[in-house]
């Protein structure tokens, strides 16, 4: 698999360097889900382009030109109908806010 512009690859473990709000958090009956700093997740997609340019919001352009989707398992917080027990939540994260987790198991 080809690495992203920052060397990130789908399927690797990463750690958040700041809190991130999950997609659909608080939307349509879903609970509010904030993934805390230092939580480990799995990259689901890399090099995802931003849809809305930052200059349209009056902000500076220091965020980069793409983000990374990261999946996190959040025990007992279910997306959609709880009967399906979907407790995987996805966040769009600026690559500068991620650290690759090195597996130290033998």
Q: 21-69: per-residue pLDDT in tens?
A: 999 999 998 999 999 999 999 999 998 887 765 554 555 445 567 899 9
Burial 62-97 (b: 16+ CB within 10 A, else e): eeeebbbbbebebeebbbeeeeeeeeebbbbbbbeb
Residue whose token pair is 């889900």: 33
Which pLDDT score is estimated for 54?
Answer: 56
Q: Give the model confidence (pLDDT) of 2-25 as tens digits.
A: 566 667 899 999 999 999 999 999
Element at 5 (helix H, strand E):
none
Tokens of 87: 């407790």
């Amino acid at each position: 698999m080809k690495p992203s512009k920052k060397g990130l690859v789908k399927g690797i473990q990463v750690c958040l360097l700041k809190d991130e709000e999950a997609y659909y958090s608080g939307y349509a009956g879903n609970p509010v889900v904030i993934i805390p700093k230092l939580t480990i997740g799995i990259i689901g997609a890399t090099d995802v382009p931003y849809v809305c340019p930052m200059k349209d919001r009056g902000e500076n352009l220091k965020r980069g030109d793409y983000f990374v989707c990261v999946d996190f398992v959040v025990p007992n917080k279910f997306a959609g109908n709880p009967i399906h027990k979907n407790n995987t939540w996805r966040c769009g994260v600026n690559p500068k806010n991620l650290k690759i987790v090195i597996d130290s198991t033998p």
